[in-house]
Amino acid sequence: MSAIIRVDNLTRRYGERTAVDHIAFEVAAGELFGFLGPNGAGKTTTQRILTGVLPPSEGTAHVLDHDMARDPLGAKEHIGVVPEVANPYLEMTGWQNLMLAGELYDMKKTAREERAEKLLRDLGLWDRRADRAKAYSKGMRQRLMLAMALLHQPDILFLDEPTAGLDVMSRRNIHQMVKDLAQSGVTVFYTTHNVEEANVLCDRVAIISEGRLAAVDTPEALKNHFAESQSVQVAFTSPVEPEALSGIPGVTHVEKEGDKLRLFTSDPGRVATEIALLAQRQGLELVSLNTLGPSLEEVFLSITGRGARPREVKQ
Ligand SMILES: Nc1ncnc2c1ncn2[C@@H]1O[C@H](COP(=O)(O)OP(=O)(O)OP(=O)(O)O)[C@@H](O)[C@H]1O
Ligand SMILES: [Mg+2]
């Protein structure tokens, strides 16, 4: 693949603490790449290095073939950044904030005005453009930050938890914008701690935990790779104890979930058949029987909950 972001052996220490610990990955041009990890995993530190804000302690980060520690300026005009903690100028209106961003990028007046209008309309802020940013809600400020990051039509967009703390509508608005951008060929580096967001949005996901990369793959491949978390969920018309089903061949353990029982296995098809046979033998009546694939959340928890030593890092 033609890599537009290349990270090699990247490490960042703050004093004794290693925030990012020898990570390596590549992002292809046009990819919507998720960077998923729990609080304190090293996501923001990584994004700050990738955007030339923070130097690494070791290793390299290349964006569009520019080493971001030595030569960030060559890349900066091609990237847009929504940082983790960011605010527009609160005393200025939304429109003025955008005009200022356009000037900083050296955009011509007509270009920045046209572009600002389109972005404000797309992000649902057009009607509020003459209000000062201090009168904007958190979600509106976040959308304004996104508009400012996109004004100069960057090839790569970096977002650090852009939907944190936003309501469903604002989140959807940002998701749609990000999807449209990826569709139009923009590469997106999307940092999040929200597993479902990574699952529904991203082409590939890197999972970072305690500064280390635990996995990099498509959401589907990640789920399949952790096949032990497949399961069969069953409900009977009368209560059945988990122990009654734990002896079924191929079942690793059984959990009670409300009025249902969940049997964990690497072979859900076989276990489903065995449940049906057992029900027949014992005169039990089935209400429902579902085989459930592993969710990305289970994968995430099994990786990050275990102290996360690297399992398999695929490029
Ligand atoms: N300026 C700093 N000085 C000292 N330690 C820092 C600094 N910035 C980050 N850290 C430490 O580095 C580690 C990674 O922090 P980072 O902000 O990169 O995590 P994160 O994945 O973005 O977390 P969150 O989801 O909470 O935003 C944490 O242990 C944090 O305490
Ligand atoms: Mg962060």
Q: What is the mean pLDDT of residues 70-96?
A: 93
Beta bridge pairs of residue 261: 234, 256
Burial class (CB in 10 A: 0-12, 13-18, 19+), 49: buried
Residue 239 has pLDDT above 60, yes or no: yes
**Residues 40, 119 within the same domain:** no
**Residues 161, 195 within the same domain:** yes
pTM for the predicted model, two decimal places: 0.83
**Residues 135, 182 within the same domain:** no
**Residues 202, 241 within the same domain:** no
**Residues 128, 160 within the same domain:** no
**Residues 299, 216 within the same domain:** yes
Does any domain span residue 21?
A: yes
**Residues 2, 130 within the same domain:** no
Q: Is 39 in the pocket of ligand 1 (CB under 6 A)?
A: yes
Dist. CA 224 → ligand 1 center (Å): 31
pLDDT in tens, 251-268: 999 999 999 999 998 888
Does any domain span residue 248?
A: yes
Residue 145 has pLDDT above 80, yes or no: yes
**Residues 20, 135 within the same domain:** no
The residue out of 115, 135, 153 marking a domain boundary is 153
**Residues 45, 183 within the same domain:** yes
Q: Is 45 in the pocket of ligand 1 (CB under 6 A)?
A: yes
Q: Whose CA is nearest to atom 13 of ligand 1?
A: 19
**Residues 148, 189 within the same domain:** no
Q: What is the mean pLDDT of residues 209-221?
A: 92
Beta bridge pairs of residue 3: 28
**Residues 273, 254 within the same domain:** yes
pLDDT tier at 12 (50, 70, 90 boundaries)? very high
Residue 137 has pLDDT above 70, yes or no: yes
CATH of residue 24's domain is 3.40.50.300
Domain that holds residue 115: 89-153
The pLDDT, as a whole number, for residue 110 is 96
Q: Whose CA is nearest to atom 12 of ligand 1?
A: 19
pLDDT tier at 308 (50, 70, 90 boundaries)? very low
The pLDDT, as a whole number, for residue 227 is 59
Residue 312 has pLDDT above 50, yes or no: no
Q: What's the total number of domains in the chain?
A: 3
Q: Which residues have their alpha-adjacent CB atom under 5 A from ion ligand 2?
A: 43-44, 84
Percent of the chain with pLDDT over 90: 79
**Residues 66, 161 within the same domain:** yes
Dist. CA 230 → ligand 2 center (Å): 31
Q: Residue for token digits 């936003």?
A: 166
CATH of residue 275's domain is 3.30.70.100
The pLDDT, as a whole number, for residue 220 is 87
pLDDT averaged over every residue in the chain:
91
The pLDDT, as a whole number, for residue 292 is 84
Does any domain span residue 84?
A: no
Q: Is 20 in the pocket of ligand 1 (CB under 6 A)?
A: no
Does any domain span residue 115?
A: yes
Q: What is the mean pLDDT of residues 39-65?
A: 96
Amino acid at 307: G
pLDDT tier at 307 (50, 70, 90 boundaries)? very low
Does any domain span residue 236?
A: yes
Amino acid at 147: A
Does any domain span residue 83?
A: no
